[in-house]
């Protein structure tokens, strides 16, 4: 008798063929962009990170669901953050290193040179490109899928992977518990007021019930894991498989080839 395993990635591909990033193995998305992210740390020009930034955003727009939150992150938060970082890094640059370039702004004895702007925005573009590359997998991969792929393909012990995943899931649980505690305090009229001292008093009042809720949740999780014989055997049967398919290999090869071509053509390490 044959046993059929459920493959969630097959349904994703059939229902949304254009949003192909969701159907890829999480490890493939990491392996495809990790070399470029590491090399971008050492580049110093403006064009190379800008090219990676544009291509990463285009890949996310084409291969992922463009929700309002994702669009705000890509087209508002990321550019605004890069501009703020570029200006900040430009101000921090030692003027003695770039005093041979034209002056762009002068306030009293302080002068902002063009070379400082180039260094500052080159750094901001590098950080923006690295973040955009990380978002390719970050926006299209869930934590459980990454853990399952690490256990199945990288042979990470499931005791480590699923224990870390259980600990990570405590964060939204804490948020829910905190919301319930705040609502209960408002109903009872505890620590009213809107001043700073009232906020501090309310914060202290949340600590004890939040810790009590965390302990109860930890006990329930521990009992659930013990009832399923977690850690009793070196391996476990996976209900949800995260396969590494041919398309994952093709995606890695295409991304690595594109990254190598960009670095080879632009060659950001050439001497001026």
Query: What is the full per-residue pLDDT of the chain (272 aa) written as tens digits?
Result: 334 444 444 444 434 556 899 999 999 999 999 999 999 999 988 999 999 999 999 999 999 998 999 999 999 999 999 999 999 999 888 888 888 888 888 888 888 888 999 999 999 999 999 999 999 999 999 888 888 899 889 888 888 888 888 877 787 888 888 888 888 877 776 656 666 666 777 777 788 888 888 888 888 888 888 887 887 778 777 778 889 999 999 999 999 999 999 999 988 775 44
Write the CB contacts of 67 (distance below 8 Å, at least 6 apart in sequence). Answer: none
- Pick the closest to residue 109 from 99, 117, 100 (CA basis): 99
Reported for 176-180, long-range contacts at CB under 8 A and 24+ positions apart, including other chains, are 177/209, 177/210, 177/213, 177/214, 177/217, 178/206, 178/210
Domain borders along the chain are 8-153+245-266, 158-227
Do residues 170 and 217 touch, judged by C-beta distance below 8 A?
yes
What pLDDT does 193 receive? 62
The span from the CA of 235 to the CA of 157, in Å, is: 8
Write the CB contacts of 166 (distance below 8 Å, at least 6 apart in sequence). Answer: 221, 225
Strand boundaries in 31-119, DSSP class E: 103-107, 110-113
What pLDDT does 17 receive? 59
What pLDDT does 10 receive? 47
Q: For residue 111, report the phi and psi dihedrals to the nearest 5 degrees.
A: -130, 135
What pLDDT does 259 receive? 96
What pLDDT does 11 receive? 43
What pLDDT does 209 receive? 83
The span from the CA of 91 to the CA of 84, in Å, is: 11
pTM: 0.79
């Amino acid at each position: 008798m044959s046993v059929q395993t459920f493959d969630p990635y097959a349904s994703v591909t059939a229902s949304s063929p254009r949003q192909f990033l969701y159907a890829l193995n999480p490890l493939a998305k990491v392996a495809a962009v990790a070399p470029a992210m590491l090399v971008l740390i050492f580049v110093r020009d403006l064009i190379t990170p800008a090219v990676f930034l544009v291509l990463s955003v285009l890949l996310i727009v084409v291969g992922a669901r463009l929700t309002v939150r994702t669009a705000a992150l890509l087209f508002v938060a990321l550019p605004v953050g890069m501009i703020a970082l570029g200006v900040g890094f430009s101000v921090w640059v030692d003027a003695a290193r770039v005093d041979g370039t034209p002056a762009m702004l002068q306030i009293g004895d302080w002068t902002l040179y063009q070379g400082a702007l180039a260094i500052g925005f080159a750094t901001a573009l590098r950080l923006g490109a690295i973040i955009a590359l990380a978002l390719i997998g970050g926006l299209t991969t869930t934590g459980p899928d990454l853990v399952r792929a690490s256990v199945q393909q990288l042979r990470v012990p499931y005791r480590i992977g699923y224990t870390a995943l259980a600990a990570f899931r405590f964060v939204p649980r804490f948020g829910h518990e905190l919301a319930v505690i705040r609502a209960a305090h408002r109903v009872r009229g505890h620590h009213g007021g809107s001043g700073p001292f009232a906020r501090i008093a309310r914060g202290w009042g949340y600590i004890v019930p939040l810790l009590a809720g965390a302990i109860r949740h930890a006990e329930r999780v521990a009992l659930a894991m013990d009832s399923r014989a977690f850690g009793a055997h070196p391996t476990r049967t996976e209900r949800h498989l995260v396969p590494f398919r041919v398309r994952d290999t093709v995606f890695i090869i295409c991304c690595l080839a594109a990254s190598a071509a960009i670095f080879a053509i632009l060659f950001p390490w050439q001497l001026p």
